[in-house]
Structure 1
Amino acid sequence: MHEYTVSFLAYIIWDPVEMYNHLTNGWGDKEHEIPFDIYHPATRKFVFDTFEQWLKDNPQVDVVRFTTFFYQFTLLFDQKQREKVVDWFGCACTVSPAALDDFEKEYGYRLRPEDFVDGGAYNSAWRVPRKAQRDWIDFLSGFVRANVKKLASMSHAAGKEAMMFLGDQWIGTEPYKDGFEDLGLDAVVGSIGDGTTTRMIADIPGVKYTEGRFLPYFFPDTFYEGNDPSI
């Protein structure tokens, strides 16, 4: 007998974090939102126009905390609502036909499904990266950083600080990749899971300050009658 795997490109029709909230917080019949990709010019224009209007409508805000810039981390659940794949630094949700075409023009070769899928499984960022993965991260971060810099500049022009939330936004910003300090971000905030994440946040270069936010979040899976959230 033989075992086969099939790799294919699919649209994400559920925002991963919203999927988490539906499952964890019981959002019920709330209509789910479809993530959009700012790699497309019309979508990118919508994002910046919306942010420009938001800055005008919120003069009382001193610090703009961006929860997610453009690309989500990889977060997948099964049919029993169990968390099966979580990769804060993975690039599985960053692929689009337009980006793949531009990558080929710039790097001289075309990426294959196996560059994002590893032996039929989701390729984890914790594996030693192959050349194609490194090239994709470089390509993606060039695009993301240019647009993050624009958002930070818009915040500063409105008299506000620009703060990045670590986990959701690592992808493309790459805080430990050379040049992060050129983005113009004032701060990074992240969730303190353990000593490793504390150090990871505290050591990020090129910002005025870093902030650690203690877990757990105020979610029903932690705060409910009879549970001890202090642990």
Structure 2
Amino acid sequence: TQSVTINNVQPFHEYTVNFLAFVMWDPTQMYNHLTNNWGDVPKDIPFDARGPKSWEFMKATLQTWLENNPKTDVVRFTTFFYHFTLFFNDMKKDKFVDWFGYGASVSPAALKAFEIEHGYRLLAEDFIQAGTYNSTFNEPTQRYLDYIDFQQRFVASRAKELVDMVHAHGKEAMMFLGDNWIGTEPYGEHFASIGLDAVVGSVGGGASLRVIADIPHVKYTEGRFLPYFFP
């Protein structure tokens, strides 16, 4: 019946129900629909690199593109593979934004793989904070930290496969530090293994400029000053 009954409640106490939901729209495209009035443009369903068919589709599509674009010297990925946590409301405003959040990377396949590797099962409660959206600016629990590292290792290994394909065609591989960057963590311990040549990011201020400029394990970085795409 899609209803929940809570028994033995106490007056003036708040109660919450935690659940996992499937994101039907890519968050950036959702932003475009709301902000730029895209109207009848079909919605994009996010791909999950853990899905065998999705992963094979990603590789096949990249391979075809590389073969059909021999004159392109640099391939920019935007990015690998999970969007930062981002929700909009019906007033075209940010409902919740966590640039470092791993909430949108959660899937049944990821939860099952995590349980096999770590020996314990994550719950919906592990991705929120006592009934509210979980911000990574809060001190993360050990369970959440375990999940972050788990996803970072997965993203790095799969991203390396795509970067190796680019290098095999004599091209450089660049990553956009934005949108679907969750799991890449340029200052994390797994980033170097991806083998990227460069990183490009949007400069919103001095802090973001420093973040981009100091990224290790790449040949060069590029900063794009806002607004570079939307007014």
Gap change, CA 1:59 and 1:18, over 3 Å in 2: same
Q: Tell me the secondary structure at the aligned position of residue 59 of structure 1.
A: coil
Q: Structure 1 regions of 5+ residues with no counterpart?
A: 223-231
Paired with 1:170 and 1:135, the residues of 2 have a C-alpha distance of 18
Identity %: 60
In the alignment, structure 1 residue 152 sits paired with structure 2 residue 163: yes
Distance change in 2, residues 1:180/1:125 (3 Å): same
Deviates more, 1:184-193 or 1:29-38: 29-38
Q: Say whether 1:69 aligns with 2:83.
A: no
Q: Does 2:180 align with 1:173?
A: no
Give the partner amino acid of 2:33. H
Verify: 1:192 aligned to 2:203, yes or no.
yes
* 2:130 aligned with 1:119: yes
Deviation at 1:64, TM superposition (A): 0.5
Are the equivalent residues in 1 in contact too, given 2:79–2:181 (CA < 8 A)? no
**Whole-Å Cα distance in 2 between the matches of residues 115 and 4 of structure 1?**
17
The Cα of 1:29 is off from its aligned counterpart by 1.3
Report the alpha carbon displacement of residue 170 of structure 1 after superposing the two structures with TM: 3.2
Equivalents in 2 of 1:218, 1:13: separation in Å?
25
CA contact (8 A) 2:86 2:96 kept: yes
CA positional deviation for 1:68: 2.2
Question: Is 2:34 the counterpart of 1:34?
Answer: no
Quick one: distance in 2 between partners of 1:183 and 1:120?
36
Paired position in structure 2 for 1:58:
69
In structure 2, list runs of 5 or more residues that go unmatched.
1-10
> TM-score of the superposition, structure 2-length normalised?
0.92
Superposition CA RMSD, Å:
1.2
Q: What number of residue pairs does the alignment pair up? A: 220
Whole-angstrom CA distance in 2 between matches of 1:13 and 1:57: 31
User: How far is 1:217 from its partner?
Assistant: 2.9
SS of residue paired to 1:206: coil
Distance 2:88 2:179 in 1: 17
Residue 84, structure 1, aligned to residue 83, structure 2? no
Which position in structure 1 is the counterpart of 2:224?
Answer: 213
- Identify which of 105, 111, 115 aligns with 1:100: 111
Choose the corresponding residue for 2:26, options 15, 29, 38: 15
3-state SS of the aligned residue for 2:182? Answer: helix
How big is the shift at 1:169?
A: 3.9
